[in-house]
A and B are shown apart, each in its own frame.
Chain A
Amino acid sequence: MSTTAEHEASQRLTNGHDATNAAVSVRALWKVFGPKAEQIVGSPEATLSRSELMTRTGCTVAVNDVSFDVAPGEVFVVMGLSGSGKSTLIRCLTRLIEPTAGEVLLDGEDVRDMSDTRLRELRRTHVSMVFQHFGLLPHRQVIDNVAYGLEIRGAKKKERHARAKEMVDLVGLTGYERSYPDQLSGGMQQRVGLARALAVDPSVMLFDEPFSALDPLIRRDMQKEVIRLHEEVGKTMVFVTHDLQEALKLGDRILIMRDGAVVQIGTPAEVVAQPADDYVRDFVSDVPRSHVLTLRYVMREPRPSDSDEGPVMSPDTIVRQAARAALASAHPVRVVENGQVIGIVDDDAILRVVVAEEGAPA
């Protein structure tokens, strides 16, 4: 897929979100590693394969002309395999890695134009980040790790400890304030990382594969924790993961990256129901579709002959949730939006989704 087509696709898919009000807005962002990186941006060489570009110029394009908007309060997931550039992308948002070209607007202000002082200010108060390998300070107790961001910006000890204590309670670590990181399990350490990020009361939180290093069971707990925290504190979140299940579970919208470029941006249902290309299709093939697809994607056009006695449901109802009621009723489900019947879902449509899933190879 060419860059322009991709760009159009992303434009199309970001429609409905007002870019000027976005919490995070990324425009044509590039990150190229290597000598004379600027010359690669937008040049024909950028379309070469990675190994070819490497041998020819010694450069690697980690982020290739990426644009997206994140609405305030949204959970936006960036998903891709390792090496797809997603970790570089999220680091470019606060210039932990310096972008090569493009714009990163946080509340309308371009991060790339900020002075060092302004950038520090931003990191101290506005954006915080949770890391895959926690990045805790081993020589500090939990409470001082959590309070680190506050300490850095000059908060008094009493004040920052009070705030840190609140955060420790919020993430469920009450009683571990005086422990050292290496006395905690991985899951607990990541809770400390979460508390540290929350302590500065940021408006945007960035997550870089925060749960990849954890056991599956703990990972599930932590995902629930993030959902709970999101409901409680309502932060804007940008969440990087390589785990599709995690992306589908957490994301309001998902950006799928490959080799540094955007392949598709959409809601979980969109990504599963209308994969942008074979790459995404292959990716989502193992997903239990009934858990993700909404009725919108399985309904057919209403016909005059349709019964009007079936149950009424919203088009955003997930198939699995609709299944029991739909199959129990003798009449097909009527999908209603704004008082209009926009589609019909019969037993066959539901069964196709559920059965296809069971027939799919594990």
Chain B
Amino acid sequence: MTATATTRDVVGPGTKVGLRRVPRWGQALFVLGIWVLVWAVMRGQDTLILPGQAKTGLHDSMSQWKSDLIAGRDDNAFMQFTGWIADQIEAVGTWLQELVSEPAPPRPVPEIGWFGVVAVASWVGFAVAGWRIALLVLGSFLAFGLLGYWEDSMDTLIITFFSVAVALVVGLPLAVLMAKSTRVTAVVAPVLDLLQTMPSFNYLLPVFLFFGLGIPAGVVATVIYCTPPVVRIAAHGIRSVSGTTVEATDSVGQTRWQRLRKVELPMAKSTIVVGINQTTLAALAIVIIGGFINMPGLGGPVLDALTGQQTGNAFVSGLCIVIMAIMLDRTTTAASVHGEKLARSGTFDPRRHRIVLAVTGAVALVCVYYSRTYLKLAEFPESALGPAIGREMAMKVQSFADWFTSTFDAWTTAIKDVVSTFLLNPLQDLIANSPWYVTAVALTMLALVVSGLRPALITVVCLTGLYLSDLWNDSMITLTMTLVGALIVMILALVLGVAMARRPGVDLVLRPVLDAAQVMPAFVYLIPTLLLFGPTRFTAIVAGVIYAAPIAIKLVADGIARVSATTVEAAVSSGSTAWQVITKVQLPMARGNVVLAVNQGLLYVLSVVVIGGLVGAGALGYDSVLGFSQSQYFGKGIAAAGCIVLLGIMLDRFARGAVERQQRNNDILTRRPISGAI
């Protein structure tokens, strides 16, 4: 991609000047204006609406294909292969479940009771990240039990760890290969790109087809979704190991293997652990969504509670997810620096440390033994302190929620109505109620004007796919929701990002909140928004905004913070007002990051808006869920999944094209005088 970019900017100065005459936003507005005019005349024609329960021949034939595939499962080699893999995963999964969460026959309880599990988990926390983390782990595990979700929490953890283990076994060698070979990178990087563009939700349906329901499908979907981060980040870490150090250690005659093991991997270790952290959180996110395909774990109860409008239960099970996310995040983050921190502390004595680990480990094993002997230590006790807490909390939250909704209903409805009337409805009217060909041409023109020829071509391809899927109208509604969400995200990002960058105090307060918010699986955000706004598309948009805002805000803030202090000083010394500094210096110089924030905003909102199909957002998300739940709608669900991918690619390339174009312009502007001097 970069290669074409460079060849194209050779065309350079002449064309540049031509384009500059009318700025890009002006051209975009022009396109938009014409679109509105055409829409006013042709509104409502050829909108290709397909009602929720309706399906087309295409969808039916795909459902049929699925039925045939499943009927022919015993003859089809590929299906046999996936079936075999599913069996293996199932076996390991069941074994793990019987170890810590499910009764292991002939025992009425798991092999290791809660007491043993808590002890071992805390010990692991201590060993990898120190006693603070051990306490955090201890507290978290006790909370799972006390809130009444011990089994579900254990299931979620099992599948998360299982998937992360597989992801690392596959991902780390791949990362090393990528770091070493540009050819491997050229092949693997685009695949990773695509995998990361797709909303997590989308992996479920195809996986469900080949691996059935439950743990196997869950693990496969999770592995596919959570492997890319660690590959990408670890490869980056290995590649950025200082060349001087590699050369210096080469000069004493090390072999390649010694170089990898003694120099590159240790030096990239903390980056690799960041990758593991990202992978773990991604895995958790999808394990939760896996409730859709009957995956054991916390996803199920949350999903049930959401569909049944039981805010209290949703809150308590959601709380378990939040605790788990924080626990996993803190533990992996602390683990990345723990070893070196110990060694640097000065008073560190490796032998004593080993003895402490051995003794505490023995204590944990004793706890395991007791948990196998006493029933009270095996099953989380149902007592005044037991799961009753969770139930009580659920009831309190429920009554609070009822009170809240009845009291503030007017307010939330007002907010919802204002956004719907002035933003959502008009935009949806324009995009979804224009004749499909008008919308298609308009979107392509916008891509061409804003992002360039390549993104425009990709837009054409994606739009063609959407048209062929027979889900044009639903796609356009989902697109509208995504755009509205991203717009709100960007308003938040610009306001808060600028505030963070300009005022250290704001940064100090906001950053930890954003960091914590980024750790949560998207699904969790549906719970409070559902409470506030009820089951509507607006709920999904708000959840998407909450999910996408942290990354966008941070990108803007970091982009502005990176603007050279000297430049800002120069602007201030020439008498600029604060507003002028922001609009004329800081934002333009941070434009790359701002556009990147738009990109991330669009993709994040899309992924949540789709999950929101469950809580009344309708459109593509709803079509997908229908595909899981009812066999005859499978074809429509798959088509919807395809549409979501196409929308994701289209939005991603659109925003990315804008960034690249931006950077090219900057390059040309900054390079020209230098090359002139030579």
Contact = CB atoms under 8 A, between A and B. Distances in A.
Interface of A: 91, 94, 96, 119-125, 127-129, 131-141, 148-149, 151-153, 180, 193, 196, 200, 206
A91 B262 CA distance: 22
B251 A96 contact: yes
Given A133-B244, A152-B258, A180-B344, A139 B252 contact: no
Contacts of B344: 180
B244 A138 contact: no
A348 to B, nearest CB: 49
A281 to B, nearest CB: 27
Interface string B313-353: 00000000000000000000000000010011000000000
A149 B252 contact: yes
A137 B266 contact: yes
10 contacts: A123-B251, A125-B253, A127-B251, A131-B244, A137-B262, A137-B267, A148-B252, A152-B262, A200-B252, A206-B251
Contact of B250 (A96, A133, A139, A141): A96
B249 A122 contact: no
A120 B255 contact: yes
A94 B267 contact: no
Contacts of B252: 123-124, 128, 148-149, 152, 196, 200
B584 to A, nearest CB: 38
A123 B253 contact: yes
A124 B340 CA distance: 28
The 10 closest A-B pairs by CB, nearest first: A135-B248, A123-B253, A124-B253, A149-B252, A120-B253, A135-B244, A129-B251, A133-B244, A135-B245, A139-B266
B269 interface: yes
Contacts of A193: 248
Contacts of A148: 249, 252, 262
B80 interface: no
B499 interface: no
Interface string B259-297: 000110011010000000000000000000000000000
Interface of B is mostly: helix
Nearest to A120: B253
B564 interface: no
Contacts of B246: 135
Contacts of B248: 129, 131, 134-136, 193, 196
Nearest to A123: B253
Interface residues of B, number: 22
B269 A139 contact: yes
Contacts of B244: 131-135
Contacts of A132: 244
A200 B250 CA distance: 14
Given A137-B266, A139-B266, A139-B340, A96 B247 contact: yes
B307 interface: no
A53 B393 CA distance: 78
A11 B262 CA distance: 44
B666 interface: no
B242 interface: yes
Contacts of B254: 120, 152
A139 B258 CA distance: 15
A141 B343 CA distance: 9
Given A152-B258, A180-B344, A135 B253 contact: no
B656 to A, nearest CB: 31
Contacts of A141: 343
A137 B251 contact: no
Contacts of A136: 245, 248
Interface in B210-250: 242, 244-250
A137 B245 contact: yes
B508 to A, nearest CB: 26
A152 B259 CA distance: 9
Nearest to B251: A129
Contacts of A91: 247
A79 to B, nearest CB: 21
B400 to A, nearest CB: 51
Given A122-B253, A148-B249, A152-B253, A135 B242 contact: yes
A251 to B, nearest CB: 22
Contact of B253 (A138, A153, A196): A153
B341 to A, nearest CB: 11
Contacts of A151: 262
B263 A137 contact: yes
Contacts of B250: 96, 123
B255 A135 contact: no
A49 B242 CA distance: 32
A94 B251 contact: yes
A121 B255 CA distance: 10
Contacts of B262: 137, 148, 151-152
A193 B248 CA distance: 9
Contacts of A124: 252-253
Contacts of A127: 251
Given A91-B247, A149-B252, 13 more contacts: A96-B250, A120-B255, A131-B247, A132-B244, A134-B244, A134-B248, A135-B246, A135-B248, A136-B248, A138-B267, A139-B267, A152-B258, A193-B248
A121 B251 contact: no
B240 to A, nearest CB: 13
Nearest to A149: B252
B270 to A, nearest CB: 9
B242 A149 contact: no
B251 A128 contact: yes
A132 B255 CA distance: 23
Q: Which of B246, B248, B269, B344 is the most central at the interface, judged by chain A CB atoms within 10 Å of its CB?
A: B248
Nearest to A127: B251
Nearest to B348: A178
B624 to A, nearest CB: 46
B468 to A, nearest CB: 46
B255 to A, nearest CB: 7
A121 B253 contact: yes
A196 B343 CA distance: 21
Contacts of A122: 253
Contacts of A123: 250-253
Q: Which of B246, B249, B251, B269 is the most central at the interface, judged by chain A CB atoms within 10 Å of its CB?
A: B251
A193 B247 CA distance: 13
Contacts of A120: 253-255
Contacts of B242: 133, 135
B253 A137 contact: no
Interface in B593-623: none
Nearest to B344: A180
A149 B242 CA distance: 18
A208 to B, nearest CB: 9
Contacts of A196: 248, 252
A31 to B, nearest CB: 16
Nearest to B250: A96
Interface string B130-167: 00000000000000000000000000000000000000
A262 to B, nearest CB: 24
Nearest to B268: A139
Given A135-B248, A139-B340, A149 B266 contact: no
A94 B266 CA distance: 26
Contacts of A149: 252-253
Q: Which of A125, A134, A139, A153 is the most central at the interface, judged by chain B CB atoms within 10 Å of its CB?
A: A139
Interface string B433-452: 00000000000000000000
Contacts of B253: 119-125, 149, 152-153
B483 to A, nearest CB: 46
